[in-house]
Amino acid sequence: RATSNHKVKETVALELSYVNSNLQLLKEELEELNSSVDVYQNDSESISVPMIPLGLKETKELDLLVPLKDLISEHYGEEGVLFEKEIKEFMELRQAMRTPSRNEAGLELLMEYYNQLYFLDSRFFSPTKNLGVFFHWYDSLTGVPSHQRALAFEKGSVLFNIGALHTQIGARQDRASLPGLNQAIDAFQKAAGAFNYLKENFSNAPSLDMSAASLNMLVRLMVAQVQECVFEKMTLLRAQHDFLTRLQLAREAARVEDVYSLVHQTMTQAHVKDYVPFSWTTMVHVKSEHFKALSHYFAAIALCDCPAASDAELPEQEKAFIQFHVTMPEGPSLRILLQDPEERRKLGKAHLKKAIMKHEEAMRIHGLCKILRKMDILQEVLSFAHKRSLSKYSEIDHEEDFFETGDAPDIHPKTHQKPEIKSPNFSQVKVTDLFHRLGPLSVFSAKNKWYPARRVHLMRGENGFGFTLRGDSPVLIAGVIPGGCAAEAGLKEGDYIISVNGKDCKWSKHAEVVQLLKSTGEEGVEISVITL
CATH number at residue 508: 2.30.42.10
pLDDT score at 413: 95
pLDDT of residue 270: 84
Higher pLDDT, 206 or 156: 156
Last residue of a domain, one of 220, 237, 254: 237
Residue 40 lies inside a defined structural domain of this protein: no
SS3 at position 12: helix
- Number of domains composing the chain: 3
| Mean pLDDT, range 4-14, rounded to an integer | 81
For 259-299, what is each residue's pLDDT tens digit?
Answer: 999 999 999 998 888 889 999 999 999 999 999 999 999 99
Residues 212 and 304 in one domain: no
- pLDDT score of 45 more than 50: no
Taking 70 as the threshold, does the pLDDT of residue 60 lie above it?
Answer: yes
Task: Check whether 36 has a pLDDT greater than 80.
Answer: no
CATH label of the domain that carries residue 223: 1.25.40.280
pLDDT digits (tens, 9 = 90+) for 488-503: 888 889 999 999 988 9
What is the SS3 string spanning 59-111? ECCCCCHHHHHHHHHHHHCCCHHHHHHHHHHHHHHHHHHCCCCCCHHHHHHHH
444 domain residue, yes or no = no
Residues 218 and 265 in one domain: no
In a domain, 349, yes or no: yes
**Last residue in a domain, options 189, 222, 237:** 237
Give the span between the Cα atoms of 138 and 399, in whole angstroms.
62
Domain assignment present for residue 138? The answer is: yes
Domain span at residue 124?
45-237
CB 468 within 8 A of CB 494: no
Q: Are residues 232 and 105 located together in one domain of the fold? A: yes
Q: Is residue 171 domain-shared with residue 186, that is, in the same domain?
A: yes
Name the percent of the chain lying above pLDDT 70: 94
Angle, CA of 37, 43 and 46, to the nearest 5°: 100
- Residue 333: pLDDT band (50, 70, 90) is confident
Domain identity same for 319 and 394? yes
Has residue 35 been placed in a domain?
Answer: no
What is the rounded distance in angstroms from the CA atom of residue 232 to the CA atom of residue 227? 9
Last residue of a domain, one of 424, 440, 465: 424
Q: Which pTM does this prediction carry?
A: 0.87
pLDDT band for 397, please (50, 70, 90 cuts): confident
Residues 344 and 289 in one domain: yes
Residue 121 lies in a domain: yes
Distance CA 239, CA 464 (A): 84
> pLDDT: is 516 or 35 the higher one?
516
163 in the same domain as 117:
yes
Q: Can you give the pLDDT at residue 450?
A: 83
- pLDDT for residue 506 is more than 80: yes
Instruction: Answer yes or no: is pLDDT of 471 > 80.
Output: yes
In a domain, 518, yes or no: yes
**Averaged pLDDT for residues 396-402:** 74
Same domain, 171 and 94: yes
Same domain (yes/no): 65, 150: yes
Q: Which residues contact 24 (CB under 8 A, 6 or more apart)?
A: none
Q: Are residues 146 and 171 in the same domain?
A: yes
Mark whether 169 and 256 lie in a shared domain. no
Average pLDDT, the chain: 89
The reported pLDDT for the residue numbered 41 is 59
Contact of 164 with 139, CB cutoff 8 Å? no
Are residue 90 and residue 124 in the same domain, yes or no? yes
Half-sphere exposure of 294 (CA within 13 A, CB side): 28
Q: Residue 170: helix, strand or coil by DSSP?
A: helix
At residue 403, does pLDDT exceed 70? no
* pLDDT tens, residue by residue, 337-374: 888 888 889 999 999 999 999 999 999 999 998 888 88
Residue 117 lies in a domain: yes
In the chain, % of residues over pLDDT 90 = 55
